């Protein structure tokens, strides 16, 4: 049985949430615990309650909406994603998994299905690393990957702590109260846009994710004396930005040189101080993202870049420090979850292919608690994290139908 998906309602809600943003539509910006983020959360909570779901928020801001099963004593099945958005992003990343998850639960209700296991929809806190430089904070805490000491080290650009931010946003209780024990859920399944071009290129409806690439983030700080751009002559300079430029080039060269297209390296953030055209830089901070489906190859790249940055600093006589912000393991989907998704695809008449996720998601950390999986829907031209990010309402609705069917199977087990 294909479950009824209200495509018009889902599309309208995606558009409505997109307009709760710090940048004008179609750009979407919702940074963790800002007034805009909190407005988006309240908007979501109203719709969850209107759907008759039981809503709660944990100590770090993860939101849970529960559809009770016939046997609430059993571990629930969960789905969900995130609604925070990097500056000037698109309207589908994360949101499709949250609002699509809500629509999947509504479809079960409309079909009169009462699953054996309860089903929970989760809107995770801070999947994006924008404010505190670390992604998936909510799911990291839930799964025990991020402990109290690690959480306490997080700082935003103004030096504020995560603790200050969450309390200021009205979260209560100790942050570690959000931690769950392994087995807290029977299974977790996340619906998401592909953020890549393969489904569109192959003309397929659904990507059945079998694994998620392993991300690592390296922060490098380089320091020099600085000085006046005219008065400080070249022989006397120890310019940290020159060292940083060499590191940037090496990240690209080394990632291309592993022999695998699964290896990627990106310098996505660089801060230069004092940041004046007539001043020689005295401090440079860069954050480097390195990913691979092969953990050993990814770690070899990380170690190489760390050593290269240290060597460049010594060569140019600048100060150096390096810190691994996260070095996460890859995630492998649970066989039963993959089978449930493929069965739901067959029932919905959705063409599909097994694939690897190159981007990482909260699913990586939920895998510490239970078997997991992901359902991908196509992204036009593979574009994501941009205002022109696009997936059609028909493609999203098909993904929701598959999600609802898979959740039904998992919740009856």
Digit-by-digit pLDDT tens for the chain (413 residues) are: 678 899 999 999 999 999 999 999 999 999 999 999 999 999 999 999 999 999 999 999 999 999 999 999 999 999 999 999 999 999 999 999 999 999 999 999 999 999 999 999 999 999 999 999 899 999 999 999 999 999 999 999 999 999 999 999 999 999 999 999 999 999 999 999 999 999 999 999 999 999 999 889 999 999 999 999 999 999 999 999 999 999 999 999 999 999 999 899 999 999 999 999 999 999 999 999 999 988 999 999 999 999 999 999 999 999 999 999 889 988 899 999 999 999 999 999 999 999 999 888 999 999 999 999 999 999 999 999 999 999 999 999 999 999 999 999 999 99
Dist. CA 205–CA 213, nearest whole Å: 22
Kindly give the pairing relationship between strand 119-124 and strand 227-228.
Answer: unpaired
What pLDDT, on the 0 to 100 scale, is given for residue 214? Answer: 82
Interaxial angle between packed helices 335-348 and 393-412, expressed in degrees from 0 to 180 and rounded to the nearest 10: 130
Bridge partners (DSSP) listed for residue 289: 217, 266
Q: Where are the beta strands (DSSP E) in 204-341?
A: 206-212, 214-223, 227-228, 264-273, 279-280, 283-292, 319-327, 331-332
Tell me the backbone φ, ψ of residue 360, rounded to 5 degrees. Answer: -105, 160
CB atoms within 10 A of CB 183: 9
Alpha helices in 56-116 (DSSP H): 95-110
Cα–Cα–Cα angle for 92, 93, 96, nearest 5°? 55
Dist. CA 151–CA 177, nearest whole Å: 13
Which residue segments constitute the domains of the chain, with CATH numbers given?
7-213+330-412 (3.40.630.10), 215-327 (3.30.70.360)
Note the pTM of the prediction, 2 decimals. 0.88
Structure token digits, residue 103: 């629509």
Dist. CA 246–CA 255, nearest whole Å: 14
Cα–Cα–Cα angle for 383, 262, 367, nearest 5°? 85
Dist. CA 245–CA 228, nearest whole Å: 20
Q: How far is CA 355 from CA 82, 198, 375, in A?
A: 22, 9, 10
Rounded to 10 degrees, the C-alpha dihedral 129/133/136/137 comes to: -130
Among residues 368, 369, 388, which one has the least CA distance to residue 379? Answer: 388
Structure token digits, residue 173: 């209780």
Among residues 391, 412, 397, 367, which one has the least CA distance to residue 18? Answer: 391
Q: How far is CA 170 from CA 20, 57, 59, 61, 151, in A?
A: 19, 10, 9, 9, 17
Kindly give the pairing relationship between strand 331-332 and strand 206-212.
Answer: antiparallel
Q: How far is CA 94 from CA 39, 69, 137, 375, 385, in A?
A: 17, 26, 14, 12, 10
CB atoms within 10 A of CB 315: 11
- Residue 298 CB partners (closer than 8 Å, separation 6+): 214, 216, 263, 290, 291, 292
Structure token digits, residue 18: 């997109």
Q: Coil, strand, or helix at residue 321?
A: strand
Sign of CA dihedral 338, 341, 347, 350: negative
Structure token digits, residue 171: 């979260």
């Amino acid at each position: 049985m294909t479950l009824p998906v209200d495509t018009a309602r889902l599309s309208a809600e995606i558009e409505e949430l997109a307009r709760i943003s710090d940048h004008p539509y179609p750009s979407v910006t919702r940074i963790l615990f800002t007034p805009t983020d909190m407005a988006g959360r309240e908007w979501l909570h109203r719709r969850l309650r209107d759907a008759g779901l039981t809503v709660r928020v944990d100590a770090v801001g993860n939101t849970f909406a529960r559809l009770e099963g016939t046997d609430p004593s059993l571990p629930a099945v969960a789905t969900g994603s995130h609604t925070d958005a990097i500056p000037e992003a698109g309207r589908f990343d994360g949101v499709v998994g949250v609002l699509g998850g809500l629509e999947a639960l509504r479809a079960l209700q409309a079909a009169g299905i009462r699953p054996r296991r309860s089903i929970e929809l989760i809107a995770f806190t801070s999947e994006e690393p924008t404010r505190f430089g670390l992604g998936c904070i909510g799911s990291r805490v839930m799964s025990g990957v991020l402990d109290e000491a690690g959480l306490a080290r997080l700082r935003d650009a103004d030096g504020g702590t995560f603790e200050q931010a969450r309390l200021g946003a009205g979260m209560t209780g100790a942050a570690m109260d959000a931690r769950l024990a392994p087995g807290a859920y029977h299974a977790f399944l996340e619906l998401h846009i592909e953020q890549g071009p393969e489904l569109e290129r192959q003309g397929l409806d659904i990507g059945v994710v079998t694994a998620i690439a392993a991300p690592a983030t390296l922060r490098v700080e380089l320091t020099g004396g600085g000085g006046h751009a005219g008065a400080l002559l070249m022989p006397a300079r120890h310019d940290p930005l020159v060292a940083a430029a060499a590191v940037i080039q090496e990240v690209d060269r080394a990632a291309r040189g592993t022999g695998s297209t699964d290896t990627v390296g990106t310098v996505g953030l660089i801060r230069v101080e004092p940041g004046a055209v007539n001043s020689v830089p005295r401090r440079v901070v860069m954050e480097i993202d390195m990913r691979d489906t092969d953990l050993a190859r990814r770690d070899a790249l990380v170690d190489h870049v760390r050593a290269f940055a240290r060597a460049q600093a010594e060569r140019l006589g600048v100060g150096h420090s390096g810190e691994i912000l996260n070095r996460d393991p890859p995630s492998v989907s649970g066989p039963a979850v993959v089978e449930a998704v493929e069965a739901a695809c067959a029932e919905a008449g959705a063409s599909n292919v097994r694939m690897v996720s190159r981007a990482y998601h909260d699913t990586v950390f939920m895998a510490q608690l239970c078997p997991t999986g992901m359902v991908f829907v196509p992204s036009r031209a593979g574009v994501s994290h941009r205002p022109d990010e696009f997936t059609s309402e028909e493609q999203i609705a098909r993904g929701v139908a598959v999600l609802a069917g898979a959740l039904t199977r998992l919740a009856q087990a």
